[in-house]
Structure 1
Amino acid sequence: MRKGRTSCIGGLIPKFIVFAIVLMLMVGCSHSGSSSKDSDENVKTIQIYLEKEFTGPNEELRKVLEQDDPYPPELEAYLEENYKPLVSDLEDIVNANYVLAFLRFAYENGYQLQPINIDIQKIKNTQNNAYNYEVKVEYSKDSETNTATITGRVNLNDNGKISTIRNMDDDGLLEKMRK
């Protein structure tokens, strides 16, 4: 009789351990998932911006940039379509050279840009939706390929649009594309 009772208790202990582990995983996942839907959307917005900013220039942008006019109507349409949904004030971001600066320079110097890794981290304990980013960018010309790592900080407004880009360090990418 004692043997049966021990095996019953012995069978409950492993089940209890499995139950406890499953419970901890569920609580941990629900906690990390509830950190903020807004935060996920903000990361997505920043990701899209960085992909647009460091991919290309594509054929559409080349056609816009090869025109003699430095600000043709096609450029404005391109910016409206590709960047307006992501930023709070397109004119401010353009004037601060945080839109198309790298792509325009790549176009003028015969380079092609491609992000190969993008890391975006929310800065904790800030009230202004601040995120640090790091983009490893491959830049290539005449079958020669190199990489640079661009870092910076982005702030988003309450509507989830990019309001400020700052502390950008381009790892010498613009200078390297001059050569």
Structure 2
Amino acid sequence: MKNIISFIKNLFVLVPVIVLLVGCFSETVDEKTIRTFLEKEFTGPSDELKDAFEQDGAFPPELEEYVEENYKPLVVNWEEMIKSNQIMLFQTFAYGYGFQLKPTSIEMKLVQDNAYDYEVKVEYTKDNQKNTAIITARINLNENGKIVSIRNMDDDGLLEIMKP
């Protein structure tokens, strides 16, 4: 009986501690949005995206459908972000110059209300040659948790490297 009472007392102490620890390590909704965005931005291009890029026209319906499906839920205005090269830039270069991208680590830190600094270690591959670049920037979200802008980007020379 003593063992059962001791177990129950320990359980009452451990459960709140475990809940607190799990809460400390879980991502916020904003962080999940940013992580999802960065994974989409620095993974690929996928076969679906390659097919969309291969369609005729400057911005064919297949590409628009891809962007709406993958970016619209995450950003305030995907059309403006494409025009200002804040989304799809790395995917476009990777496709155009025969590279594959893959994020190997993503870190972010809240620096002020709705603003996060992020660092993404990106593995880029072409002709079985692998290398890495570290991309850093500040990403701003609105009060609804959607991405408004990406500023102060340092791409570690990745766009230049991908050009022939």
Q: Which TM-score applies when normalising by structure 1?
A: 0.78
Q: Which has the higher helix share?
A: 1
Q: Which runs of 5+ in 1 are unaligned?
A: 1-18
1:148 equivalent in alignment to 2:154: no
Q: Which runs of 5+ in 2 are unaligned?
A: 1-9
Structure 1 Cα separation of the partners of residues 64 and 51 of structure 2: 13
Structure 2 Cα separation of the partners of residues 172 and 113 of structure 1: 14
The match for 1:114 is 102
* Counterpart among 69, 75, 89 of residue 63 in structure 2: 75
**Identity, % of aligned positions:** 54
The match for 1:9 is none
The match for 2:78 is 90
SS in 2 for 1:60: helix
Superposed, 1:1-179 pairs within 5 Å as 26=16, 30=20, 33=23, 40-123=28-111, 126-127=112-113, 129-179=114-164
Structure 2 Cα separation of the partners of residues 122 and 29 of structure 1: 22
Structure 1 Cα separation of the partners of residues 70 and 17 of structure 2: 39
* Deviation of 1:68 (Å): 2.9
Do the aligned partners of 2:140 and 2:148 also contact (CA within 8 Å) in 1? yes
Return structure 1 stretches of 4+ with deviation > 4 angstroms.
Answer: 25-29
* Deviation of 1:98 (Å): 1.3
* Deviation of 1:99 (Å): 1.2
Aligned length: 155
Which structure would you say has the larger Rg? Answer: 1
* Deviation of 1:111 (Å): 0.4
Structure 2 Cα separation of the partners of residues 120 and 175 of structure 1: 25
* Deviation of 1:115 (Å): 0.4
Structure 2 Cα separation of the partners of residues 108 and 32 of structure 1: 42
Structure 1 Cα separation of the partners of residues 106 and 96 of structure 2: 25
C-alpha change, 1:58 and 1:33, in structure 2 (3 Å) is same
Structure 2 Cα separation of the partners of residues 142 and 166 of structure 1: 32
Structure 2 Cα separation of the partners of residues 28 and 114 of structure 1: 33
Q: Which TM-score applies when normalising by structure 2?
A: 0.85
* Deviation of 1:91 (Å): 1.4
* One-letter amino acid of the structure 2 residue matched with residue 53 of structure 1: E
Do the aligned partners of 2:86 and 2:149 also contact (CA within 8 Å) in 1? no
Structure 2 Cα separation of the partners of residues 77 and 44 of structure 1: 22
